């Protein structure tokens, strides 16, 4: 195979195009108004995390002098240059969309107010609110020069204020900036100090304050941004001094901070120290209102030790992720998506019979079209069932009030032997996982903090029952986290089984983790970093051989990310052998499809819709003996080599057919599907002539509804799974 650097897409730029597809939904007039605002907020939240982790990490690589190139042949410096350029365009798009949405929202009774828009009554209301509540949550900080700048935690909204006052009127506090900066020489200090008769101050906006501040008025919902309310009364904060300038800004700090596991003594303590270190790590981005003077912008760059290339002037409000408060508020249902309530699962209608039902046959659920309650009930029943002797569970990301964790706690209190692997290194969920780990330990659960050097990302729960026939293992495998909150928003697959070999494999796998050993041979499961990569490569190789011998080979894969070069090269090889390769990759895809003599037989689509596509499902034709797997692993080096992951076969014909049908549905989508082109751009799939509009997520929801209706009303016409949809 002829290899070229141009045969791959840079992962960071690919991710930014995914975020653009999310942002594009804010411009889609076919999407309800508040949902458009939600997608704008999602794109902003996504970008925040990207800056903290990916850009922060690349900046560290650049600073180290490492010139190693990525899969697309780019150094860290080259990647950062392209990223900055692309992000500036994204900011412009976000600002444009907010400006377009605001008048539409106002027409529907959701109006953003400025100071000039306020009536006398509204001004009086805000003055009282500021005096009684807001002023108590802010603390202005005087700033004399950049080396005396206070340490600001990441992502906190602040106001930089320039005042006119007489020097003798000022009380100058000493600020501990914790940065160990040496004061500059006298000449430099004179250059960066405020001009005579002026001074600088910071007003960090209290995190206890709502960003969106409701204002009583004639409209259904009037509001102001809290920083604009604070700005209205700054002269009151500073004793009547003249406010020359008040500029909102926000600092983003590097979130790519980890612990040295090779020299750790106590991972729990190390992780707590790491969380503190993240708050004080280097600044990777400065967002600032584009009305700021050059003087203020330069001062902040010097104070934060940030390069001008990492300054992003914003035309409009900062921190658009706070718009979730508006998009998610109660009421205004006509501006939101029509509800898709999760459908009950008839097989598990009687919770007390869950184990009996699973013993009869395997069960596959597709969430959130089908309710996540059976997963929670599985743990609840295990906690109370006198026949259950032990529970083994992995937890990667949990919800704040996790019903799963509470069930484990209850099981331990009831005398069950409960072992739980709580992954403390789940980025941005570390603090919550630490809290649950401590609580579960207190309840008597044997808590394992994962494996040194690896993240435990597999999703598995094993319930061991002592029955008349002997010991029986009931297992739940999933593609998503044990998190009932995200289970309402993420599209994932659950698999319940008491297959004897899968149960044995699951126990061996789990015991290897808790015992820090290599697992005994696995009969059906594949696990990373042991043999998952090899298993996938073997399945691809079989399709290549079958295509060469029989002229027929087919691979359909659903992933969140495709980055691993070895697997990409094997898919290229499969395409060249004539294998029909269909890839549904939601986010990052470093593979280029449709290239002559390289990837002509590969098609890549991305579904971005109201639910986050999160399931990993792999199909191989296997000479007509269909093989289908669900997995916790994306096809990335970190998942295959540096995480603990599982790939689980689905063997029951009915369950297998349903998942294969689901995979085909994604490639029929002509509403919320984009297709990756051979030049690396994405093109929205639209209905062709005489073709009806087809939306895969809507189809899957209707299918779940029909499955439920068929059990409650035998006369209901049930959707029949087919190999290819006629849309």
Active site residues: 457
Distance of alpha carbon 395 from alpha carbon 450, whole angstroms = 10
Q: Where are the beta strands (DSSP E) in 305-371?
A: 311-314, 363-367
* Best CA proximity match to 49, nearest among 359, 429, 368, 357: 429
* Best CA proximity match to 483, nearest among 391, 415, 395: 395
Distance of alpha carbon 215 from alpha carbon 222, whole angstroms = 5
**Ramachandran region of residue 672, left (φ > 0), alpha (ψ -120 to 50) or beta?**
alpha
* Best CA proximity match to 14, nearest among 490, 585, 618: 585
Distance of alpha carbon 156 from alpha carbon 302, whole angstroms = 18
CB 681 within 8 A of CB 18: no
Chain-centroid distance of CA 567 in Å reads 24
Tokens 């596991």 belong to residue: 261
State the DSSP code for 188.
H
Distance of alpha carbon 288 from alpha carbon 131, whole angstroms = 27
CB 97 within 8 A of CB 27: yes
Tokens 């006119």 belong to residue: 164
User: What are the angstrom distances between the C-alpha of 302 and each of 48, 148, 166, 189, 708?
Assistant: 22, 11, 25, 12, 62
The C-alpha R_g of the chain, in whole angstroms, comes to 28
**Bond preceding residue 368 cis, omega within 30 of 0:** yes
With H, G, I as helix, E, B as strand and everything else as coil, classify residue 226. helix
With H, G, I as helix, E, B as strand and everything else as coil, classify residue 423. coil
Distance of alpha carbon 228 from alpha carbon 213, whole angstroms = 10
Distance of alpha carbon 60 from alpha carbon 48, whole angstroms = 17
Distance of alpha carbon 349 from alpha carbon 338, whole angstroms = 25
State the DSSP code for 347.
G
User: What are the angstrom distances between the C-alpha of 136 and each of 45, 140, 208, 241, 288?
Assistant: 28, 11, 10, 20, 25
CB neighbour list of residue 682: distance below 8 Å, 6 or more residues apart: 17, 21, 606, 674, 675, 676
User: What are the angstrom distances between the C-alpha of 74 and each of 9, 70, 234, 552?
Assistant: 10, 5, 47, 37
**The two three-digit tokens of residue 509, written as one number:** 């796998």
Distance of alpha carbon 328 from alpha carbon 69, whole angstroms = 42
């Amino acid at each position: 195979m002829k290899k070229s650097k141009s045969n791959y897409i840079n992962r960071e730029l690919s991710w930014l195009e995914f975020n653009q597809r999310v942002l594009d939904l804010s411009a889609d007039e076919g999407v309800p108004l508040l949902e458009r605002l939600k997608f704008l907020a999602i794109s902003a939240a996504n970008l925040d995390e990207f800056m903290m982790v990916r850009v922060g990490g690349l900046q560290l690589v650049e600073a180290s002098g490492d010139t190693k190139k990525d899969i697309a042949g780019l150094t860290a410096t080259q990647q950062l240059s392209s990223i900055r350029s692309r992000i500036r365009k994204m900011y412009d798009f976000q600002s444009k969309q907010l400006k377009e949405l605001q008048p539409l929202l106002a027409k529907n009774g959701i109006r953003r107010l400025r100071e000039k828009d306020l009536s006398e009554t509204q001004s009086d209301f805000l003055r009282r609110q500021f005096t009684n509540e807001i002023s108590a949550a802010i603390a202005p900080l005087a700033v004399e020069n950049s080396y005396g700048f206070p340490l600001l935690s990441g992502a906190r909204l602040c106001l930089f204020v320039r005042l006119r006052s007489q020097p003798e009127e000022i009380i100058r506090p000493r600020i501990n900036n914790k940065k160990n900066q040496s004061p500059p020489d006298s000449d430099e200090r004179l250059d960066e100090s405020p001009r005579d008769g002026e001074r600088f101050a910071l007003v960090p906006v209290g995190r206890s304050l709502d960003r969106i501040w409701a204002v009583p008025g004639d409209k259904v919902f009037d509001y102001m941004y809290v920083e604009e309310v604070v700005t209205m009364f700054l002269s009151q904060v500073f004793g009547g001094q003249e406010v020359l300038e008040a500029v909102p800004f926000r600092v983003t700090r590097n979130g790519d901070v980890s612990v040295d596991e090779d020299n750790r003594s106590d991972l729990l303590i190390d992780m707590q120290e790491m969380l503190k270190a993240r708050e004080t790590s280097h600044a990777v981005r400065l967002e600032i209102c584009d009305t700021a003077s050059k003087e203020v912008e330069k001062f902040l760059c010097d104070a934060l030790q940030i390069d001008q290339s990492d300054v992003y002037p914003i035309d409009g409000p900062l921190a658009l992720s706070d718009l979730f408060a508006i998009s998610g508020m109660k009421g205004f249902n006509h501006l939101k998506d029509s509800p898709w309530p999760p459908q009950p699962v008839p097989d598990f209608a009687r919770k007390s019979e869950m184990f009996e039902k699973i013993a009869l046959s395997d069960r596959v659920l597709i969430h959130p079209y089908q309710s996540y309650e059976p997963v929670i009930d599985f743990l609840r029943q295990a906690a109370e069932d006198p026949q259950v002797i032990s529970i083994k569970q992995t937890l990667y990301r949990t919800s704040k009030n996790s019903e799963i964790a509470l069930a484990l706690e209850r099981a331990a209190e009831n005398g069950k032997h409960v072992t739980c692997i709580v992954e403390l290194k789940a980025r941005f969920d570390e603090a919550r996982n630490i809290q649950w780990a401590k609580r579960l330990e207190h309840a008597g659960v044997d808590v394992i903090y994962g494996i040194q050097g690896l993240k435990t990302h597999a999703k598995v729960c094993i319930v061991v029952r002592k029955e008349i026939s002997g010991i029986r293992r009931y297992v739940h495998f999933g593609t998503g986290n044990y998190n009932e909150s995200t289970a309402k928003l993420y599209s994932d697959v659950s698999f319940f089984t008491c297959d004897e070999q899968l149960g044995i494999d699951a126990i061996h796998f789990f015991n290897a983790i808790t015992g820090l050993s290599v697992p005994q041979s696995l009969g059906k499961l594949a696990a990373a970093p042991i043999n998952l990569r090899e298993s996938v490569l073997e399945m691809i190789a079989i399709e290549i051989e079958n295509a060469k011998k029989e002229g027929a080979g087919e691979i359909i894969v659903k992933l969140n990310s495709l980055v691993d070069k070895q697997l990409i090269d094997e898919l290229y090889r499969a395409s060249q052998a004539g294998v029909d390769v269909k890839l549904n990759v939601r986010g990052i895809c470093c593979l280029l499809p449709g290239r002559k003599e390289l990837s002509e037989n590969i098609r890549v689509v991305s579904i971005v819709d109201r639910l986050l596509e999160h399931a990993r499902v792999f199909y191989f034709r296997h000479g007509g003996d269909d093989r289908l797997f669900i997995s916790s692993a994306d096809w990335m080096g970190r998942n295959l080599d540096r995480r603990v992951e599982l790939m689980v076969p689905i063997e029951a014909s009915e369950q297998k057919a349903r998942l294969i049908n689901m995979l085909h549905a994604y490639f029929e989508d002509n509403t919320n599907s984009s297709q990756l082109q051979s030049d690396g751009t994405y093109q929205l799939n639209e209905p062709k002539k005489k073709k009806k509009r087809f939306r895969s997520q809507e189809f899957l929801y209707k299918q779940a509804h029909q499955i439920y209706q068929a059990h409650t009303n035998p006369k209901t016409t049930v959707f029949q799974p087919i190999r290819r949809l006629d849309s």
